[in-house]
A and B are shown apart, each in its own frame.
Chain A
């Protein structure tokens, strides 16, 4: 094994960003450097997948260095089964995004690539932080590169979209900051306690908070994460940000940034506040179900393909929310694999929309038609990704949605089949809006003579879609490759909540491997 591998994964992109800025005069050099660094990060991050031991209940690949001793803050990172998958998803998507922007980003190339690499570091940082202070630093750091990516390279209404994105996220995270400080303070009031932001210690401390206070903390964290997910009714920033962002920005936004919300719900809300989680599980599940149906219905009436995909995200993320708060192993596992799925499928959909936009400079459904004859390779890729997004058995989407539905069906916490009944309609709606859109864009007669001039996908474009397709099929056929890694972690999380439900003493967190 490589020693300190997690440090390397976290900081290689940052070093890449610095080098990119030094070489900013030469656009090609910048693109290649960016791609090289993100690929190296991906390859190194595979060590996490192969080196991770699911049976070991402690955090792994841990690095801990004291950072601000007077406030007991340390640079403390490490991964468990859940964050490992998300880190690899991040490192997997970043080179694809950089490759996808090869031609479409022509102004301020160095700034774009550097911001993407900084963003990668921040995203990985969010998933690996084991200190709430460090987590908050990365969580907020995400905002800056994304803000510039949308604001500089975005569409016509980019300023409105990016400011809205920024303010929405800030609103949530500032309240989370108070909760983070309050948790540290609470730890200091316990006998022999001290102010702490160490997540592994808070795993044991936070659940002892009395329920009425726990609810406040739960609410402060949940608000921040639900905005990020985004759950209905806090989702309004998402369509604006997605539609205005450049393709690469949308892919990262959908692929990774939204997962930070659901990851936070598991890591903080569920693991810190099991009692409050039980209390509010049905509320959050209802938000999930409403999101599923609302997102689907709104997608159905969209005229712009990108906006349709954006709203479909609201629907898909609703499934994840439902899966997590059923508090069953299946549901949560489904939620986690669905995070990966959504990253892959929706990421790929945004890439495809970007490809057609680069050619035609429009994304309106009514402008297209008959693309199957004109650009068959494009149509084929589009088909696979569409089916994956719908949840066709044999492709990835099915695995996640199926597990989630089973999980909520069995859930004692929810204790009602209506969640499943309503959520299932979402699956049907998804088939309707996706297939209908696909049909209008790809089949039938061409509605605009411009379409006749379209050129099929280039080798670069095929090259960046193929790896995604590979995993779409892989997860669909053999999900255990991934599920087996996260299962023991999920079991422990669920076990903890069940202990609370039964009123037993909690198992202590194993802090060192």
Chain B
């Protein structure tokens, strides 16, 4: 009993979020006009859980019979997911009202997905990892089709579900093979006996299949096919949540399994990582140029960014681990902000997210346009914004580990990316405004965007604030 209590306390952010999501759904069920209540309770609860996560940060260890990690890495990633879901919820309030799907389940699903992300990023047993992955994915399948009268959203949800189920199959099969080879699903136990499995084909196949499952979730080429359609078709704030929270969770799990635990094996899989990194950067950045829809463009850009983070995974080692985590933090602020602005520009029919709709935005909504420009510059990687420092850190890790050629490809492809990110800025600032009112901007949404903007700028200017945490993850 005592042990159970300690374990629960040490995994407080995850437990707290489970509780929160249950409270929210109960409010939805029991109270009339429950939406404002759900909104505010979610936000307060998220704030409380962030505090819990900060409090549990020094409590490094494992809980529940070594199946989940506590403190350090788990706490830091929990903060990332909580911030992502908090910003998503704030930016969604006005948005789901606008597109006419103002249902309270939305908040519940976002929170439940966040629980899944935490389990995914802190599971030290592959079964927990799998449960986390599924919990997150199922919530996201529903969210993708949340505006159920819109054909595109249905298409997105179905596509995401079918391909996601397929990836789940790979993932499970991988776990099964690993279990067959090692007799355990606990990655810490497996990692301890790693030299024994080093050349075991069964184990390597299992790890490969596991990686395919992850590669699907992070949207790396060639497992990226669903990304553009799903991001375009889903409600914009859901795409935002998928591209930040879900991607961060998958990357965190990838780091935990492949970089931190199966360290030796990363070395033998480096070629695979490197090929995927190169393919993702090339395909993502080049295809993004041809896009006319900003959501679709950001979808391809997110494929490219998965490629940059894969450089970090390829390089391996401590620097790249903190590099990838830093990149994820930068990316969460940047992409949530950018998608948030798209959701404001979008109209009630969930259209109007083409490039041309951004024309002259600066002359109608100057603050929003300036923030969008900050996000675009951060995605390009202009210092002193967060996106730049993330790239710098990953490149440092890669060069130190002898992957200079990979950084050169990374740099060359980010030159390509300059073109399509700049196009958004060009349209907003240099084209003359259309007639008519600017898009409607909610106050709380603006606050969320300001938080993201300050996040992007401050994290870029003072990366040490976060880097200091990185040394104390495990």
Q: Roughly how many angstroms separate A69 CA and B466 CA in the complex, as a whole number?
A: 12
> In chain B between 42 and 91, which residues have their CB closer than 8 angstroms to a CB of chain A?
none
| Chain A residues in 8 Å Cβ range of B179 | none
> In chain B between 349 and 397, which residues have their CB closer than 8 angstroms to a CB of chain A?
377, 380, 382-384, 388, 392-393, 395-396
B396 touches A71 (CB 8 A): yes
**Interface membership of A159, Cβ < 8 A:** yes
B395 touches A178 (CB 8 A): yes
CB proximity of B432 to chain A, nearest CB, Å: 11
Binds A, one of B14-22, B234-242, B399-407, B448-456: B399-407
Q: Roughly how many angstroms separate A70 CA and B396 CA in the complex, as a whole number?
A: 12
Residue of B nearest to A176 (CB): B411
**Interface membership of B415, Cβ < 8 A:** yes
CB proximity of A276 to chain B, nearest CB, Å: 18
30 cross-chain CB contacts under 8 A: A67-B464, A68-B463, A70-B467, A136-B383, A140-B382, A151-B426, A151-B429, A151-B430, A159-B430, A162-B426, A162-B430, A163-B419, A163-B426, A166-B418, A166-B422, A167-B415, A167-B418, A167-B422, A170-B380, A170-B415, A174-B412, A174-B414, A174-B415, A177-B392, A178-B407, A178-B411, A181-B392, A181-B395, A181-B396, A184-B396
B464 touches A152 (CB 8 A): no
Q: Interface of chain B, helix or strand or loop or mixed?
A: helix
Q: Roughly how many angstroms separate A140 CA and B422 CA in the complex, as a whole number?
A: 15
- B interface, CB within 8 angstroms of A: 377, 380, 382-384, 388, 392-393, 395-396, 399-400, 404, 407-408, 411-412, 414-415, 418-419, 422, 425-426, 429-430, 463-464, 467-468, 470-471
- A interface, CB within 8 angstroms of B: 67-71, 133, 136-137, 140-141, 143-144, 147-148, 151-152, 158-159, 162-163, 166-167, 170-171, 174-175, 177-178, 181-182, 184-185, 188, 195
Q: Roughly how many angstroms separate A97 CA and B127 CA in the complex, as a whole number?
A: 66
| Chain B residues in 8 Å Cβ range of A167 | 415, 418-419, 422
Q: Interface of chain A, helix or strand or loop or mixed?
A: helix
Q: A70-B464, A167-B415 are in contact. Are A181 and B426 (CB under 8 A)?
A: no
Q: Roughly how many angstroms separate A144 CA and B425 CA in the complex, as a whole number?
A: 11
CB proximity of A161 to chain B, nearest CB, Å: 11
B471 touches A70 (CB 8 A): yes
A68, A162, A182: the one contacting B404 at CB < 8 Å is: A182
Q: Roughly how many angstroms separate A68 CA and B459 CA in the complex, as a whole number?
A: 12
| Chain A residues in 8 Å Cβ range of B400 | 185, 188, 195
Q: Roughly how many angstroms separate A93 CA and B426 CA in the complex, as a whole number?
A: 28
| Chain B residues in 8 Å Cβ range of A181 | 392, 395-396, 399, 407
Q: Roughly how many angstroms separate A163 CA and B384 CA in the complex, as a whole number?
A: 20
B415 touches A141 (CB 8 A): no
A159, A175, A185: the one contacting B396 at CB < 8 Å is: A185
CB proximity of B122 to chain A, nearest CB, Å: 24
| Chain A residues in 8 Å Cβ range of B415 | 167, 170-171, 174
B411 touches A185 (CB 8 A): no
B426 touches A182 (CB 8 A): no
Residue of B nearest to A71 (CB): B396
A68 touches B422 (CB 8 A): no
A68 touches B464 (CB 8 A): yes
| Chain B residues in 8 Å Cβ range of A71 | 393, 396
| Chain B residues in 8 Å Cβ range of A143 | 382
A133, A158, A163, A177: the one contacting B422 at CB < 8 Å is: A163
B429 touches A137 (CB 8 A): no
| Chain A residues in 8 Å Cβ range of B382 | 140-141, 143-144
Q: Roughly how many angstroms separate A162 CA and B430 CA in the complex, as a whole number?
A: 10
Q: Roughly how many angstroms separate A454 CA and B377 CA in the complex, as a whole number?
A: 44
| Chain A residues in 8 Å Cβ range of B393 | 71
| Chain A residues in 8 Å Cβ range of B464 | 67-70
Q: Roughly how many angstroms separate A53 CA and B346 CA in the complex, as a whole number?
A: 61
A159 touches B426 (CB 8 A): yes
Q: Roughly how many angstroms separate A294 CA and B149 CA in the complex, as a whole number?
A: 64
Q: Roughly how many angstroms separate A394 CA and B207 CA in the complex, as a whole number?
A: 77
| Chain B residues in 8 Å Cβ range of A158 | 430
A182 touches B399 (CB 8 A): yes
Residue of B nearest to A148 (CB): B429
Given A166-B418, A182-B399, 18 more contacts at CB 8 Å? A70-B471, A136-B383, A141-B383, A147-B425, A151-B426, A151-B429, A158-B430, A159-B430, A162-B430, A167-B419, A174-B411, A174-B412, A174-B414, A178-B395, A178-B411, A181-B395, A185-B396, A188-B400
Q: Roughly how many angstroms separate A141 CA and B460 CA in the complex, as a whole number?
A: 13
CB proximity of A180 to chain B, nearest CB, Å: 9
Residue of B399, B430, B464 contacting most chain A CB atoms (<10 Å): B430
CB proximity of A20 to chain B, nearest CB, Å: 15
